């Protein structure tokens, strides 16, 4: 291979795939990739552990407090009238970017950086229309390709959409609710292998599968339907891997397989709204006259107060922390680690301190119990049915995500135990392409998996923070690698465990 041959990077995303569901019998093709590349065993996503937050962190190389996508859904109070924003709406994303003068995100994204360096970038995704758009929200203005596995309107090149549909047939309709979404995954895989790569050969491409997230939400994380969806998307990845081994490696293509978050299983229902209303707060899912607390729907606990005074925040948090479903809680910081409400952590500890952030951010309590499929990780929920998969919180199984890299510059058949995260992909991609990373990125280059770096990687420093009030005691674990900081997990501890731990300093390293 000539050292002057241009470098290419293909990132294949598996929405919601837990690393512990990769196995020789279920995902033989991902196992093949592990043998050919480097597996990051301590890879983590960002918090909240939701898809569109994680995808934005992937393409910006930074945490939510910098890029500003603080939830799949959030309340935007920066304009005159508070506005409910659902980032699954691609048209709303483009509208907001236009209204902000191109500053919907607070930092440059991968598409902008590649365009500024005369490199090409293509996105093919079967996630929601908004998630597909978030992988390159400026694709139209930059003239970069985006194709959706379900929504033709998201395509940024009508000509390319026509070529793909002429060969493969119409873009598949979304699968009926509760049904595994398989057709779109095969459609996009064929689009990449048979049209996009032969005709464009993008410098960077993202192929994003919407499964197994959909099946986990509607069937359960370890349900037969979900396992079948995992087996199917692994077979589609096998087509990509076969192409990569036959052609891609010789054409200097680096291949990355990743997921945006994991899943845990709902085991009990939380009375969130009842708890808040008992404190005198009138709750709703969108701002309106007479609503004191806008509570974002879904698994992530985000509460926006019409009057975000400290007494109201303290009163609400005090009521929540008395409930068995309450997990880690975050409010505006009053010190290096503690929030304004007793027992809460400061939001900046989890990189959630942004003008769009909720006044009270929390996770439902999760534990290490086994679900009905024998998988570790259970959680309370206010909205999702018992027995089904959810994500968004800080349990280790929600935060853990897949990361496997392979290619001419990557070590083969190794497992790295150095902590890493979703923010590291963009700086690593830029390094592979020989492009300097912007100062806005908080992620780091994953140099420990490069062939030219024979060592085991940089040293790590782990820090444990603890706080609480009464019987409510929470613990947050972070780890630092050089200048990058990763969230490992957070949990609630019983009084006995906390009394033993109190013999040590807090925080500890």
List, in sequence order, the alpha helices (H) in 117-262: 129-134, 139-142, 158-168, 183-191, 197-199, 213-219, 224-243
Distances (CA, A) of 36 to 223, 414, 454: 30, 9, 17
Instruction: Give yes or no for residue 502 having a pLDDT over 60.
Output: no
- Check residue 501 and give its pLDDT: 45
DSSP class of 67: H
Task: Summarize the confidence of residues 186-190 as an average pLDDT.
Answer: 98
Query: 379: which strand partners?
Result: 266, 366
Task: Summarize the confidence of residues 404-432 as an average pLDDT.
Answer: 98
* 1 vs 8: CA distance, rounded Å: 13
Q: For all residues of the chain together, what is the average pLDDT?
A: 95
Task: Summarize the confidence of residues 225-235 as an average pLDDT.
Answer: 98
- The strands making up 264-269's β-sheet, listed across from edge to edge, are 366-370, 376-381, 264-269, 389-390
Instruction: State the distance between the two ends of the chain, measured CA to CA, in whole angstroms.
Output: 45
Tell me the per-residue pLDDT of 451-464, one tens digit each, with 9 for 90 and over.
998 777 788 999 99
- Check residue 3 and give its pLDDT: 58
Sorted by where each starts, the structural domains of the chain and their CATH numbers stand as 8-43+55-210+236-261+397-449 (3.40.720.10), 266-369+462-501 (no CATH)
Local confidence band at 297 (pLDDT 50, 70, 90 cut-offs): confident
In the chain, what percentage of residues exceed pLDDT 70?
A: 96
Nearest to 56 by CA among 99, 119, 92, 104: 104
Tell me the per-residue pLDDT of 125-169, one tens digit each, with 9 for 90 and over.
999 999 999 999 999 999 999 999 999 999 999 999 999 999 999
pTM higher than 0.85 for the full model?
yes
DSSP letter string over 271-302? -HHHHHHTTT--EESS--TT-SEEE-SSSSEE
């Amino acid at each position: 291979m000539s050292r002057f041959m241009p470098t290419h990077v293909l990132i294949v995303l598996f929405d919601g795939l837990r690393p512990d569901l990769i196995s020789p019998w279920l995902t033989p093709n991902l196992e093949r990739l592990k043998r050919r590349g480097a597996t990051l065993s301590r890879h983590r996503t960002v918090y909240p552990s939701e898809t569109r937050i994680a995808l934005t962190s992937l393409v910006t190389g930074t945490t939510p407090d910098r890029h500003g996508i603080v939830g799949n859904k959030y309340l935007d109070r920066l304009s005159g009238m508070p506005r409910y924003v659902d980032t699954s709406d691609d048209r709303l994303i483009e509208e907001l970017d236009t209204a902000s003068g191109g500053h919907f995100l607070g930092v440059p994204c991968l598409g902008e950086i590649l365009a500024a360096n005369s490199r090409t970038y293509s996105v093919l995704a079967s996630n929601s229309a908004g998630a597909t758009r978030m992988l390159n929200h400026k694709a139209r203005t930059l003239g970069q390709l985006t194709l959706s596995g379900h929504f033709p309107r998201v395509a940024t090149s009508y000509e390319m959409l026509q070529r793909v549909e002429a060969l493969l047939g119409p873009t598949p309709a979304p699968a009926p609710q509760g049904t595994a979404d398989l057709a779109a995954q095969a459609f996009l895989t064929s689009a990449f292998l048979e049209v996009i790569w032969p005709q464009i050969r993008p410098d960077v491409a993202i192929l994003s599968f919407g499964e197994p997230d959909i099946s986990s939400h509607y069937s359960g994380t370890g349900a037969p339907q979900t396992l079948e969806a995992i087996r199917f998307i692994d077979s589609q990845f096998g087509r990509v891997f076969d192409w990569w081994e036959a052609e891609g490696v010789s054409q200097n293509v680096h291949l990355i397989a990743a997921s945006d978050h994991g899943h845990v299983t709902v085991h009990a229902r939380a009375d969130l709204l009842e708890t808040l209303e008992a404190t005198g707060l009138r709750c709703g899912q969108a701002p309106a006259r007479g609503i004191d607390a806008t509570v974002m729907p879904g698994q992530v606990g985000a509460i926006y107060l019409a009057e975000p005074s400290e007494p109201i925040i303290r009163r609400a948090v005090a009521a929540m922390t008395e409930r068995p479903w309450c997990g880690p809680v975050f409010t505006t910081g009053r010190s290096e680690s503690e929030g304004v409400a007793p027992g809460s952590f400061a939001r900046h500890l989890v990189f959630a301190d942004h003008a769009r952030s909720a006044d009270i951010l929390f996770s439902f309590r999760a534990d290490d119990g086994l679900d009905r499929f024998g998988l570790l990780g259970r959680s309370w929920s206010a909205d999702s049915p018992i027995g089904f998969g959810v994500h968004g919180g800080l349990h280790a199984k929600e935060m853990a995500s897949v990361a496997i890299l392979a290619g001419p510059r990557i070590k083969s058949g190794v497992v790295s135990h150095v902590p890493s995260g979703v923010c590291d992909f963009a700086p690593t991609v830029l390094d592979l392409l020989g492009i300097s990373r912007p100062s806005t990125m908080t992620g780091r280059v994953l140099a420990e998996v490069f062939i030219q770096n024979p060592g085991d990687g940089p040293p790590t420093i782990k820090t444990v923070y603890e706080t609480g009030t009464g019987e409510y005691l929470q613990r947050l674990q972070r780890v630092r690698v050089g200048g990058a900081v990763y969230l490992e997990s957070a949990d609630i501890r019983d009084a006995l465990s906390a009394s033993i731990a109190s013999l040590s300093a807090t925080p500890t390293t």
